[in-house]
Structure 1
């Protein structure tokens, strides 16, 4: 089993390290057995095996040559629980036609609990950062929108 991060602030680096190693099992061991993970399009995985399967698929296919770099981290301690948010930059994702997609920026938020051997994630949600937008609208196709203009 992968060692759990010693501090909650170490979770993003551990997640990125497992991603870069294409180690879906190591990535999944950061999560509790009954953890939840919501990805950028709202797919919702309800336990560690589902989180592992989803990441194993992505890391072997469209994310196989990607780079995930953690940036700014904010951590809020709530006793033996922490909310950790991190801006990530993702490059090298493959488009369905095999071409390389442009860079994406996301904010991945982890809710973690302290265990004797480190911090374990109980829930995570990933959100794409869409510059110049404040919400999405559905006008037949879901798209970003900005009402301030």
Structure 2
């Protein structure tokens, strides 16, 4: 896929994921790119991004499907832009038999730059969407719970 528009970054990410192709996925990134995943793991270069996704697509997401729901591009300059992409993840690998994970909704932010006519990703971050929730509270056992402070307002 030729990346002649910023939104092609999100499209190629989804296409590579759905083909379980970490090499194609990593191809959208510059060599010194950064990637922060949904749990805050931070990879500092294209090779680390490739390795993490090769593992993820082979073990955690080896039957999964990404579906792009909405994309928004904001140009910062003619050659630099941000791409927000709402993405739905289904069929994540179960941790235990007969306990399939639910469908997840995420929001990706790609910071992209056009280099020699082709758009590349400089940095990406993925956030889990918790509809109607404002933040997370860390519980005593260390787990996180998505909460809405509105119910506590008087």
| Map of 1:5 onto structure 2 | 3
Q: CA deviation at 1:132?
A: 2.4
- How many angstroms apart in 1 are the aligned matches of 2:23 and 2:58? 13
Runs of 4+ in 1 over 6 A off after TM superposition: none
Q: CA deviation at 1:59?
A: 0.4
Q: CA deviation at 1:4?
A: 5.1
Alignment partner of 2:52: what SS? Answer: helix
| Map of 2:31 onto structure 1 | 33
Q: Unmatched 5+ residue regions in structure 1?
A: none
| Map of 1:57 onto structure 2 | 55
Alignment partner of 2:150: what SS? Answer: coil
| Map of 1:110 onto structure 2 | 110
Q: CA deviation at 1:95?
A: 2.2
Alignment partner of 1:8: what SS? Answer: coil
Say how many residue pairs are matched: 147
Alignment partner of 2:15: what SS? Answer: helix
Q: Unmatched 5+ residue regions in structure 2?
A: none
| Map of 1:91 onto structure 2 | 90
Contact 1:4 1:120 in 2 (8 A): no
TM-align CA RMSD: 1.2
Greater C-alpha Rg: 2
- How many angstroms apart in 2 are the aligned matches of 1:45 and 1:85? 19
Alignment partner of 2:108: what SS? Answer: strand
- How many angstroms apart in 2 are the aligned matches of 1:65 and 1:87? 20
